[in-house]
Structure 1
Amino acid sequence: MEREGTYEWLHFDGCDFEDVDGGSSGFAESAFSAATFTRGRYRRSQFEDIWLHTVRMVGTDRAETTWMDSECNEVVLAGTELSGSHMNRVNFYNCKFDSVNARLAKLRNVAFVDCLLRDVDFGGAVLTNVTFPGSTLDRAHFDNAKMTKVDLREAAGLSITSGLEALKGATISTYQLLDMAPALAQVLGLTVKDA
């Protein structure tokens, strides 16, 4: 794999990519299975019609990447940089996100299904038509994010550390509202007292 390389109709099976500089590369109609990415730079790369299965990404730089019409199954992203990335029509199934930086990212028509998102930072991100069925958001950050048609109702867990005010444009369930009421009251500066 080389910087500014073009890769089409390939299957990367069981490959181990360590400290690779694949920045500004293009991947199309390809698959990655049982592959591991350790560190490495893939900044500004493009992924179109990509399928990933049981892939691990640890400490990789994928900032400002573009993802379209792709599917990720049982993918683990730990300490991964996704800031400024663009995703459109991307589905994540049974994936684990741990300490992922998605600040200023733009997500459109993205689904997180049965995923775990722990310490994921969506600060300043733009989320449009994004869903989280069966997924757990643990210590998520949404500072200054913008949401349109974001549906959180089917999330299995919803723990937001910061950026509650950015939920404008999102849909939550009555139960989630009651659960978040104390934190929302604090953000709004409300004092709640029983007479």
Structure 2
Amino acid sequence: MPAAPDQLADLPYAHLLQPHAGPLRPDESYDTAHFDGLAFEGRANGASFLECALTGVELQQTKLRQARFNEVWVHGARWVAVELAESDWQDSAVLASVFAGISGYGAALRRVVFRQCKLEAVNLRGALLREVVFEDCLLRDVDFGGAKLTDVSVPGSTLEEVRLNGATLKNVDLRGAVRLGLPDGPQGLRGATIGTGQLFELAPQFAQALGITVKDS
């Protein structure tokens, strides 16, 4: 499980952070910058963030297509209608944040932790997720259609209207989920591990997919 410090001061690069002021710009490189309590909108496609901290940052209708986030720590963020298509995330943590109406198709996430976050209406179709943890999160209307998920887990998380149709799963552990709301039923679950109780909950959908009629009398 990737490391995810709870406090800004616990970051290995905390002593290097410098306050950032001003807008985000396309193709700009931000290194050891601290974005605190700022609000952004507009275009910053191709921007690069290395060893940065974003605390209390609000993004509204911001374009961050093909942006790169490497060793980035996000806390208390609110991102609404943000374009993150084909963005790249590595060795990063997102804590206590809200992501709504996000376009993240084709994104790549490697060794990323989401903790106590709310993800609603998030499009991750065709995305690549490797060693990603959703811990104590709410995933509502999240679309992983056609995505590739490897070594992904969801401890303590609630999944509502999560779509896995056409996804490729390997070592995906869903046993820790509080709820598995999968409107597509068992489609896309090949390669996932679920618990016995979850299997019973999904049994009607499995029966329907197999064309089985279950009657007790």
Cross-structure match for 2:191: 169
Shift in Å at residue 14 of structure 1?
A: 0.3
Over aligned residues, Cα RMSD in angstroms? 0.9
Task: Kindly indicate whether residue 47 of structure 2 is the aligned counterpart of residue 14 of structure 1.
Answer: no
**Whole-angstrom distance in 1 between the partners of 2:186 and 2:126:** 17
TM-score, normalising length from structure 1?
0.97
How many aligned residue pairs are there? 194
List aligned pairs for 1:14-33, cutoff 5 A: 14-18=37-41, 20-33=42-55
Give the 3-state SS of the residue equivalent to 2:214 in structure 1: coil
Task: Kindly indicate whether residue 204 of structure 2 is the aligned counterpart of residue 188 of structure 1.
Answer: no
Shift in Å at residue 190 of structure 1?
A: 1.9
Shift in Å at residue 83 of structure 1?
A: 0.6
Q: Is the contact between residue 145 and residue 163 of structure 1 (CA under 8 Å) also seen in structure 2?
A: no
Shift in Å at residue 187 of structure 1?
A: 1.3
Give the 3-state SS of the residue equivalent to 2:51 in structure 1: strand
Q: Is the contact between residue 118 and residue 137 of structure 2 (CA under 8 Å) also seen in structure 1?
A: yes
Deviation digits for residues 13-32 of structure 1, max 9, x if unmatched? 000002x2110111100000
TM-score, normalising length from structure 2?
0.88
Shift in Å at residue 191 of structure 1?
A: 2.3
Cross-structure match for 2:160: 138
Cross-structure match for 1:67: 89
User: Structure 1 151/73 Cα, relative in aligned 2: closer, same or farther at 3 Å?
Assistant: same
Q: Is the contact between residue 185 and residue 202 of structure 2 (CA under 8 Å) also seen in structure 1?
A: no
User: Structure 1 118/106 Cα, relative in aligned 2: closer, same or farther at 3 Å?
Assistant: same
Give the 3-state SS of the residue equivalent to 2:180 in structure 1: strand
User: Structure 1 7/163 Cα, relative in aligned 2: closer, same or farther at 3 Å?
Assistant: farther
Task: Kindly indicate whether residue 9 of structure 2 is the aligned counterpart of residue 2 of structure 1.
Answer: no
Shift in Å at residue 164 of structure 1?
A: 2.1
**Whole-angstrom distance in 2 between the partners of 1:110 and 1:58:** 22
Q: Which amino acid aligns with 2:126?
A: L
Q: Which amino acid aligns with 1:75?
A: S
Deviation digits for residues 101-126 of structure 1, max 9, x if unmatched? 11111100000000000011111011
List aligned pairs for 1:11-160, cutoff 5 A: 11-18=34-41, 20-160=42-182
**Whole-angstrom distance in 2 between the partners of 1:163 and 1:57:** 29
Shift in Å at residue 163 of structure 1?
A: 5.4
